[in-house]
A and B are shown apart, each in its own frame.
Chain A
């Protein structure tokens, strides 16, 4: 995964609450055992007038030509709630989204973002609704939006995104600790091991 730091882009205002991962990518769009080829299915239920014809719904904000190249998505509370499907994040990434700003996120979705090069920013709703339709400037290193609005992110998540790290490699640095935990635990909780 490539590292992510600065993004300067228009931001798509999808300002509704509880946007679930079924809406981000309906089950029917997950046709293959693959992390790719999913962007066509992104928001399929809202983006197309009918599932068969795939005629774009002109009222859906993602279809507004003004936002075609946008890399930032603004949304409401509890974005990415529901199903654990990582396909939601893969589809967003393939479409070109790199930053999602919302007042809160579904827990599994949030983690899936961090592991796939999308920066989820938790931000007060009042600030989100005040963004105009111009470019938004994100600096992850400095944790700032438009050089003035500070946002919070866990240090470990930030490092993972900045450097595009893989958590298996990170964990394997602690393989000795894991092994010695297991050795003791196997005695203390012998019943837990198969």
Chain B
């Protein structure tokens, strides 16, 4: 057999049949839903007189709309949010779908909970009506975001009609400098190759810098494949992947585990495999990277100056830069370091896992959030929250002046309820700095959790190394 990429292996092993016109029927192993776009799929399916083919492979969680205040209930600050929650509960119950509800230990953001529970496994296909489903590609998996109508298709037929994307390899080579994280790597990639650089591609992240990342950091990397415009991101299976999965509640056990591991060991690209496109990035000189504009592609290293529209050869990039500078109320030549902040947010499917919070807690110990800065931490799942509390991390956050919340997507986006204030400047460990994403006219700078915590302490954008001394 000719040499194959990881992507080709995953794709081929899930191809039920090839139809005419370049369409493959791709078998779907797991479907994850949430109360925002999952309820509508189930209700719409029911309205059409259809049902879920294999409810045991479908999971649902409450993450998008549910409040994250301590003591939360079904009531939400978002108007009408309760309907989403109640309708999701009813619809999942009707279809015998496992729901991780408010108050459950398993509740959390889809892409935090799914790996934690061992629902995503190497070698699976997983879809969810959420664009950041690519996060779970970190497990040597084909995981991607779909629309609600496509979710209905997967629920009712176990397959999706797909056209095969092209393949790309992004190699991050070298040793990552101290204090530089997976978040900085992905922001660097998107800023160099643009927010549409990955359009049409399934991207495999590889190279020594990726290999040395923890599973949680690999998830951070894959999480933003969609911000690169890619169909999805993925990373080959190695011993870290298998160690992470072992013993998780929904992971195979006993003989099935042995069979699985044998299958998983081949989930890497063959040496001679070729890609439609290759990008190589040397990480040796990377530094903390932060967005200045309103697209993740508009990011720079903290030490660099905010660019002028004239720096862009492409007319569209120039116009986009003008719009972004105006929206963000910043000027070319300014340093991000000079920007005072109103708020700091740590959370989201990008950066809210236990190792993220541990690293931040180290920074926050015996420190105080600058006066006038509202700082919030929202653990990615109830499991993460409880584990962090067991280690006393919650105390460190609260002593420093952070709010410590229940898990959920929270203020990663403004759903009509809670938000950051009008024209407030927020440093955020999330994935999108779009206009209005975190509130009306809110100015979002996305960064690593370390940068967010350091900025919260300094009251202006800065890196962890500046705080540490």
Contact = CB atoms under 8 A, between A and B. Distances in A.
Q: Do A and B come from one complex?
A: yes
Interface of A: 16-18, 20, 22-23, 26-35, 45, 51, 76-78, 81-86, 89, 104-108, 111-112, 115-116, 125, 154-156, 159, 167-168, 170-172, 174-175, 177-178, 181-182, 185, 189-194
A18 B295 contact: yes
A182 B22 CA distance: 22
Interface string B381-392: 000000000000
Contact of B22 (A89, A156, A178): A156
Given A78-B199, A108-B131, A171-B161, A89 B147 contact: yes
B193 interface: no
Contact of A84 (B37, B323, B414): B37
B84 interface: yes
Q: Give chain B's interface residue range (CB within 8 Å of chain A).
A: 35 or more
Contacts of B56: 194
A105 B330 CA distance: 29
Contacts of B270: none
Contacts of B109: none
Listed from nearest, the 3 A-B pairs whose CB atoms lie closest are A28-B416, A155-B21, A191-B260
B40 A35 contact: yes
A177 B229 contact: no
B36 to A, nearest CB: 8
Nearest to A171: B157
B335 interface: no
Contacts of A17: 196, 316-317, 319-320
Contacts, number: 194
Interface in B430-445: 432, 434-437, 440
A29 B56 CA distance: 33
Contact of B150 (A26, A77, A115, A191): A115
B155 to A, nearest CB: 9
A45 B435 contact: yes
Contacts of B414: 26-28
A168 B123 contact: no
B39 interface: yes
Given A77-B196, A82-B226, A191-B121, 8 more contacts: A23-B434, A27-B416, A28-B415, A78-B196, A83-B131, A83-B432, A191-B257, A191-B259
A190 B312 CA distance: 53
B29 A170 contact: no
22 contacts: A26-B436, A33-B39, A33-B83, A84-B129, A85-B37, A86-B148, A107-B199, A115-B150, A125-B316, A156-B19, A159-B21, A168-B153, A171-B157, A174-B159, A175-B157, A178-B27, A181-B16, A189-B13, A191-B256, A191-B257, A192-B260, A194-B250
A115 B83 CA distance: 26
B259 A78 contact: no
Residue with the highest number of chain B CB atoms closer than 10 Å, among A16, A78, A81: A81
A36 B183 CA distance: 37
Interface in B166-201: 195-196, 199-200
B57 A194 contact: yes
B304 interface: no
B153 A192 contact: no
A23 B147 contact: no
B147 A108 contact: yes
B164 to A, nearest CB: 11
B124 A108 contact: no
A159 B361 CA distance: 55
Nearest to B320: A17
Given A82-B434, A84-B130, A156-B23, A189 B161 contact: no
Contacts of B275: none
Given A26-B414, A178-B158, A112 B19 contact: no
B158 to A, nearest CB: 6
B157 A27 contact: no
Contacts of B416: 27-29, 31
Nearest to A107: B231
Contacts of A45: 435-436, 440
A111 B146 CA distance: 8
A74 to B, nearest CB: 13
A170 B25 CA distance: 11
Contacts of A105: 199
A106 B153 contact: no
B150 A154 contact: no
A7 B13 CA distance: 41
A179 to B, nearest CB: 9
B79 interface: yes
Interface string B312-342: 0000110110010000000000000000000
B152 interface: yes
Given A51-B440, A170-B161, A191 B252 contact: yes
A63 B93 CA distance: 44
B16 to A, nearest CB: 4
Given A45-B436, A177-B17, A154 B153 contact: no
Interface string B37-61: 1011001100010100000110000
A30 B259 CA distance: 45
B297 interface: yes
B145 interface: yes
A174 B147 contact: no
Contact of A33 (B50, B87, B229, B323): B87
Contacts of A107: 165, 199-200, 229-231
B206 interface: no
B278 interface: no
B163 interface: yes
B149 A82 contact: no
B347 to A, nearest CB: 16
